[in-house]
């Protein structure tokens, strides 16, 4: 299904090593193949490249060795441990290789060569390559780009921008929503030219409501996922690679940082902030204006900053008042 969302240039592993020869410190190639894209450690795919930086080597699963793929790493010890068992390349600057290679084989909307072909329908511009069911209602002023699949009976209101996504059935997308925008990922202090290419998508399940002015970033590689029956209030930001479980409700002005995993039946008050790469288990409730900085176990109710069990938070407030704080 990847070819629905992105067109990929053909590139052999041998061509890859020749292209980046000056950036390669050492190399071990057991078998050449045509590269069919890039995959993540979490969802490895045959005939792809996986980038394993020094910060991610602990996440590596030895079962990946069974796949036909190539690892790109900047960790010398990691390279030595696996060079006899799998295609692996040791590079000097993994961020540079990642950006250059993805920009070479993927042409996203951040690339100067990006093109799309639109037709105007009832005041909106719809890509000829978007796959939209006939029962979908699109109000005027929206832009639906290529790389979109939109299922039955979904309603998209005025002035939305939608790209690189799969939207399920019976959803309501309120005004001025952006779905599939580029996520916030880059090497520090290098500017827009080095923003990491985002080649993932957004997946929205069935029977969801996305409030006005929400922004949902597409994933860096895999998917940003909002599951069935989830309701988002207005002015919410969902960063790249986030998962929000089914039957969740999130109030306005909440910000969820990248790679957060939220379980089913999540309930959040307004103006909540959630730090990146956390896990929030199922049936969690969060009081308004809380700041979550650590993992939250299932069936918890938390409040405050940093967020703690709500009963602990209430005692903190009482003690503060006893000590003269208003």
pLDDT tens-digit readout, 177-193: 999 999 998 777 677 67
Average pLDDT over residues 98-123: 90
What secondary structure does DSSP assign to 117-169, as a single string? -EEEETTEEEETT-EE-TT-EE-TT-EE-SSEEE-TT-EE-TT-EE-SEEE-S
Q: How far apart are CA 318 and CA 15, in angstroms?
A: 66
Question: What share of the chain in percent tops pLDDT 90?
Answer: 64
pLDDT tens-digit readout, 3-53: 568 878 888 888 888 888 999 999 998 888 998 889 888 888 888 899 998
**pLDDT exceeds 80 at position 65:** no
Report the alpha-carbon angle 39-144-123, nearest 5: 175
215 neighbors 238 (Cβ within 8 angstroms): yes
Q: What is the mean pLDDT of the chain?
A: 91
Average pLDDT over residues 100-117: 88
Smallest CA-to-CA distance from 270 within 238, 295, 234, 312 is with 234
166 is catalytic: no
Q: What confidence category does residue 1 fall into, taking pLDDT thresholds of 50, 70 and 90? A: very low
Domain ranges of the chain: 2-105, 118-316
Domain 118-316 part of CATH 2.160.10.10: yes
Q: What confidence category does residue 231 fall into, taking pLDDT thresholds of 50, 70 and 90? A: very high
Q: In this predicted structure, which of 59-73, 95-109, 178-192, 275-289 has the lowest mean pLDDT?
A: 59-73
**pLDDT exceeds 60 at position 2:** no
pLDDT tens-digit readout, 146-203: 999 999 999 999 999 999 999 999 999 999 999 999 999 877 767 767 788 899 999 9
Helix (H) or strand (E) holding 235: none
pLDDT at 202: 98
Architecture of domain 2-105: 3-Layer(aba) Sandwich (3.40)
pLDDT at 325: 67
Phi, psi angle pair for 217, to nearest 5°: -80, 145
pLDDT at 196: 84
Give me the catalytic one of 104, 240, 277, 325. Answer: 240
Smallest CA-to-CA distance from 51 within 62, 63, 37 is with 37
**pLDDT exceeds 80 at position 139:** yes
6 neighbors 108 (Cβ within 8 angstroms): yes
For β-strands 231-232 and 209-210, DSSP reports them as parallel
């Amino acid at each position: 299904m990847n070819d629905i969302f992105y067109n990929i240039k053909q590139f052999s592993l041998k061509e890859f090593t020749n292209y980046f020869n000056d950036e390669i410190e050492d190399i071990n190639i057991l078998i050449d193949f045509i590269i069919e894209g890039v995959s993540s450690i979490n969802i490895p795919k045959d005939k792809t490249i996986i980038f394993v930086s020094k910060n991610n080597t602990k996440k590596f699963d030895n079962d990946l060795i069974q796949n036909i793929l190539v690892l790109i790493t900047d960790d010398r010890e990691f390279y030595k441990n696996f060079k006899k068992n799998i295609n692996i390349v040791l590079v000097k600057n993994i961020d540079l290789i990642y950006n250059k290679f993805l920009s070479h084989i993927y042409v996203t909307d951040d690339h100067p060569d990006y093109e799309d072909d639109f037709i105007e329908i009832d005041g909106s511009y719809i890509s000829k390559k978007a796959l939209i069911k006939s029962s979908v209602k699109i109000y005027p002023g929206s832009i639906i780009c290529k790389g979109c699949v939109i299922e039955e009976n979904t309603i998209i209101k005025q002035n939305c921008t939608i790209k690189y996504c799969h939207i399920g059935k019976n959803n309501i997308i309120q005004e001025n929503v952006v779905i599939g925008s580029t996520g916030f990922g880059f090497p520090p202090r290098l500017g827009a030219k080095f923003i990491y290419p985002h080649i993932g998508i957004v997946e929205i399940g069935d029977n969801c409501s996305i409030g006005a002015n929400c922004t949902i970033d597409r994933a860096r590689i895999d998917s940003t996922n909002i599951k069935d029956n989830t309701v988002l209030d207005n002015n919410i930001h969902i960063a790249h690679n986030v998962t929000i479980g089914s039957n969740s409700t999130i109030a306005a002005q909440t910000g969820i940082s990248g790679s957060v995993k939220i379980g089913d039946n999540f309930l959040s008050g307004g103006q909540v902030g959630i730090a990146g790469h956390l896990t929030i288990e199922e049936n969690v409730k969060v009081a308004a204006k809380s700041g979550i900085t650590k993992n939250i176990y299932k069936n918890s109710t938390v409040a405050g900053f940093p967020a703690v069990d709500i009963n602990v938070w209430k005692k903190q407030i009482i003690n503060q008042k006893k000590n003269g704080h208003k």
